[in-house]
């Protein structure tokens, strides 16, 4: 079955890089995602990576996928106070449902 | 274009009551999925509808049900509410169910007292 693990909390200074990690169990996952949730808001899709890719870069965001170890990471360069949020990784296979991790709260210190 | 609209935003109900939540997807999106978010269990998949048919269902009791109308709007219903049903209920729409195309609404915060 699907099971996604994330660490819970990260604090980072403004301007530094943040790295959030995630492990998943479903090797048949087709896509892996990173979502952001700000207080009182829904989920915002930040980026996603197809399972046959190793890396994807999108402006300040870099996603690394190690399929052998089932490990996904999100690096945020030049972290800003607006990046303070909870970040969820998620996976999906062919069944049109997302399995989410528990989330990682990122606090950016000015 | 308008995003995914969920109504109401907040709801307080008493144990034993039933509740109906509504989700209007982005125009042209035919797939609507529902998720429950709680501090303890995190985000859990409830069900997905596509063209008025339930395509997928998560591991929730039969008290949780849903439907989709011909205009793709969806409702979910929870009967005989329990305290543990207190949660943020999120819906997401996409063209045909592909995860990378999901857009989430802001959610309905349900509190059961």
Q: Which residues of A touch B48 (CB under 8 A)?
A: 96-97
Average the pLDDT over each of A65-69, A72-76, B78-82 and give the range with the smallest value: A65-69
Q: Which residues pair with A105 in a beta bridge?
A: A9, A86
DSSP three-state, residue B94: strand
Sheet bearing A4-6, strands edge to edge = A4-6, A18-24, A71-76, A61-66, A55-58
CA dist., res. B30 & res. B55, Å (int): 12
Interface test with A, best of B59, B68, B99, B102 (most A CBs within 10 A): B99
User: Taking residues B85-110, what's their average pLDDT?
Assistant: 90
Among B91, B61, B59, residue whose Cα is nearest residue B73? B91
Q: Has residue A18 got a pLDDT over 90?
A: yes
B102, B93 Cβ separation under 8 angstroms:
yes
Average pLDDT in chain B: 94
Asked if A42 and B55 come within 8 Å (Cβ–Cβ), the reply is no
Predicted local distance difference test score (pLDDT) of residue A7? 67
Q: Band of the pLDDT at B2, cuts 50, 70, 90?
A: confident
Q: Has residue A27 got a pLDDT over 50?
A: yes
Predicted local distance difference test score (pLDDT) of residue A1? 47
Predicted local distance difference test score (pLDDT) of residue A12? 95
CA dist., res. B100 & res. B92, Å (int): 11
CA dist., res. B113 & res. B108, Å (int): 16
User: Taking residues B84-102, what's their average pLDDT?
Assistant: 88
CA dist., res. B92 & res. B7, Å (int): 13
Q: Has residue A104 got a pLDDT over 90?
A: yes
Predicted local distance difference test score (pLDDT) of residue A51? 87
Nearest CA in chain A to B100: A48
Q: Band of the pLDDT at A94, cuts 50, 70, 90?
A: low
Q: Which residues of A touch B92 (CB under 8 A)?
A: 43
DSSP three-state, residue B55: strand
Q: Which residues of B touch A96 (CB under 8 A)?
A: 31, 33, 48, 50, 55-56, 97-99
Inter-chain contacts counted by CB atoms under 8 A, chains A and B: 60
Average pLDDT in chain A: 90
Asked if A44 and B100 come within 8 Å (Cβ–Cβ), the reply is no
Residue bearing the bigger pLDDT, A18 or A5: A18
Beta strands in chain A (DSSP E): 4-6, 9-13, 18-24, 31-37, 43-50, 55-58, 61-66, 71-76, 85-92, 99-100, 104-109
Predicted local distance difference test score (pLDDT) of residue A2? 56
Residue bearing the bigger pLDDT, B99 or B64: B64
């Amino acid at each position: 079955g699907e099971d996604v693990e994330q660490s819970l909390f990260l604090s980072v200074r403004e301007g530094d890089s943040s790295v959030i990690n995630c492990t998943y169990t479903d090797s048949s996952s087709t896509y892996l995602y990173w979502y952001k949730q700000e207080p009182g808001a829904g989920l915002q899709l930040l980026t996603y990576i197809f399972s046959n890719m190793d890396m994807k870069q999108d402006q300040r965001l870099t996603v690394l996928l190690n399929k052998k170890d089932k490990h996904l990471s999100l690096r945020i360069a030049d972290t800003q106070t607006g990046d303070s949020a909870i970040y969820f990784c998620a996976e999906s296979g062919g069944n049109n449902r997302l399995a989410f991790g528990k989330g990682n709260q990122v606090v950016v210190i000015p | 274009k308008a995003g995914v609209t969920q109504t109401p935003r907040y709801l307080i109900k008493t144990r034993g009551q039933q509740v109906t939540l509504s989700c209007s997807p982005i125009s042209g999106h035919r797939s609507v999925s529902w998720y429950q978010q709680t501090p303890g269990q995190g985000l859990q998949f409830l069900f997905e509808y596509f063209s008025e048919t339930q395509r997928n269902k998560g591991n929730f009791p039969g008290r949780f049900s849903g439907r989709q109308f011909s205009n793709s709007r969806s409702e979910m219903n929870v009967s005989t509410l329990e305290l543990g049903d207190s949660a943020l209920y999120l819906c997401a729409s996409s063209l045909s169910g592909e995860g990378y195309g999901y857009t989430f609404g802001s959610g309905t915060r349900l509190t059961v007292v």
